[in-house]
Structure formats: C-alpha cells, structure tokens
C-alpha cells in the first residue's frame, strides 16, 4: 500500500478528521508564505510587521502591508487545495477545518464551517476598543481609501481583526480547535508548524491517539513526529487523496 493509499484508508475509516492549514495551501493562488524566501515586504519579515509594537509605532506602515496583501488577494482565486478542503468541510461528517490563514480563500471556495485561529484580513475592529467597534466589521474595500482606516463608530484608529505575534488567540476558536484535535486523523497541511499555539495542536492530537499526516512541499519542525509525511504540493496531494476516497 502506498503512503497515499494508507492515508486514504485511514480517512475512510475515521470517525473524526481534523485539518489544520497554513500559508502553503494558498501558494498556488499566488500568495507568498510567511517564512519562505518570497515572504518579505519592503525587505521586512512578517514577524516584524504583524506585531502590536509595529502598529503602535507606525500604524500607516502596518496598514500599507495589509492593504498590499488585500490587493494581492483580490486578484487571487481559490485553488484545488481550498476546493477539496471546502468540499470536505461541507459534506464529510466528523470533519473539522481549522485554519491559520487570514486570507479568506477557503471561505471563498465555500468552506463552512471553518475555525479561524488568526482572524481575517477582511475584518476590522476599533484599535481604541470603543464599545461598538470592539465587535469586528467586514470591509472588503480594495484598496482602502485612507490609510490608516478609522473606526466608523468613534473615529479612532481601526486595526485588522487578525492575531498579531505576541497576542493571545481568540479563546473560543482555540478551544474549538483543541477539542477537534482529539480526532482519529489529523492533517497538517502547508504549515511550517512553528507558530504556537496553533502548532501545539499536532502534539495535542498525537496525545489523543490521532494518526498524524503532514502534507507539505518540505520537511518541517513537525515532520519527525508525524505518522506519514506526504511530500508534495497541497493542491496536488489533496486532489489525489480525494480521488481515492
């Protein structure tokens, strides 16, 4: 039995399946990863831009980065990796889709439901934390007419409704993801498994006896601790698995 057939067999027999996706699933849509060679913007790394400190220091610069990513995304289309996962999320009983991606491409492929660990680049909330603006709102305007954008409720500064480095994750999303990690098969797809707490879902799943499958073009920090590492592009490998099911 090939590794691919083994994974398909496990998936067929699984009661609960959870998939955790990272930036790698959006590469075929033209989106750069965070830690790849193409992940720099104006020679800066995401880790230095997507932080509370960077925003406090220069909100306009941080917003320029998000506005640039939103413009790139506007031209992007979901790829087969998004489509396979979206189809499973809708029609496979016991399947839970968890994503670290803020790009909205899984949602555009029709994924539902989806647990977003790091928020959404298409949502904003009040940076000052005013009463109404604390609840995020959707804004798909591309490009944003004025940078930095302001809160429509109090006129203060608005921020992207994403999780920055050093910020806690949304507790409801994290608890739902942790609960879903107690599953039969856990798929880690296109993630470098370096950013916690999301990366902690893998050992959590393992501790609950899940069969862990990694789908990635390269080895990662998690590769040594998975049951099967399928080396390849998520958009190819997921299509091949779907064809076997």
Q: Which phi-psi region, left, alpha or beta, contains residue 143 (left: φ > 0; alpha: ψ -120 to 50)?
A: beta
Question: Closest CB to ligand OAD among 1 and 37?
Answer: 37
CB of 90 to ligand OAD, least distance (A): 22
CB of 88 to ligand OAD, least distance (A): 17
Beta bridge partners of 55: none
Question: Closest CB to ligand OAD among 112 and 218?
Answer: 218
Residue with the shortest CB distance to ligand OAD: 24
CB atoms inside a 10 Å sphere around CB 203: 14
190 — phi, psi (to 5°)? 60, 35
CA distance readout (Å), 106 to 28, 78, 231: 13, 7, 22
Q: Is 157 helix (H, G, I), strand (E, B) or coil?
A: strand
Active-site residues, by number, are 118
Question: Closest CB to ligand OAD among 51 and 154?
Answer: 51
CB of 104 to ligand OAD, least distance (A): 12
Spatial distance between the Cα atoms of 31 and 29, rounded to a whole number of angstroms: 6
Please give the residue ranges that form the binding site for ligand OAD (CB under 6 A). Answer: 22-24, 27-28, 33-36, 46, 50, 100, 102, 118, 162-163, 190-192, 194-195, 216-218, 220, 233-234
Question: Closest CB to ligand OAD among 85 and 154?
Answer: 85
CB of 128 to ligand OAD, least distance (A): 21
**Alpha carbon 121 to chain centroid distance?**
11
């Amino acid at each position: 039995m090939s590794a691919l057939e083994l994974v398909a067999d496990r998936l067929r027999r699984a009661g609960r399946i959870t998939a955790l996706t990272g930036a790698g699933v959006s590469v075929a849509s033209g989106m750069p990863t965070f830690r790849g060679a193409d992940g720099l913007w104006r020679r800066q790394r995401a880790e230095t831009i997507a932080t509370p400190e960077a925003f406090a220091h220069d909100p306009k610069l941080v917003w320029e980065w998000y506005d640039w990513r939103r413009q790139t995304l506007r031209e992007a289309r979901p790829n087969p990796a998004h489509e396979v996962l979206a189809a499973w999320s809708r029609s496979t009983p016991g399947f839970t889709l968890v994503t670290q991606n803020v790009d909205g491409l899984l949602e555009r492929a029709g994924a539902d439901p989806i647990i977003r660990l790091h928020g959404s680049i298409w949502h904003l909330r009040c940076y000052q934390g005013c009463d109404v603006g604390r609840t995020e709102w959707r804004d798909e305007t591309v490009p944003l007419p004025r940078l930095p954008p302001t809160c429509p409720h109090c006129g203060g500064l608005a921020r992207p409704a994403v999780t920055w480095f050093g910020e806690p994750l949304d507790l409801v999303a994290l608890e739902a993801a942790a609960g879903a990690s107690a599953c039969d098969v856990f798929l880690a797809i296109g993630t470098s498994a370096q950013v916690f707490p999301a990366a902690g879902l893998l050992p959590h799943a393992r501790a609950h006896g899940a069969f862990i499958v990694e789908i990635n073009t390269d080895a990662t920090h998690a590769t040594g601790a998975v049951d099967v590492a399928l080396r390849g592009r998520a958009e190819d490998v997921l299509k091949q698995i779907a064809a076997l099911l």
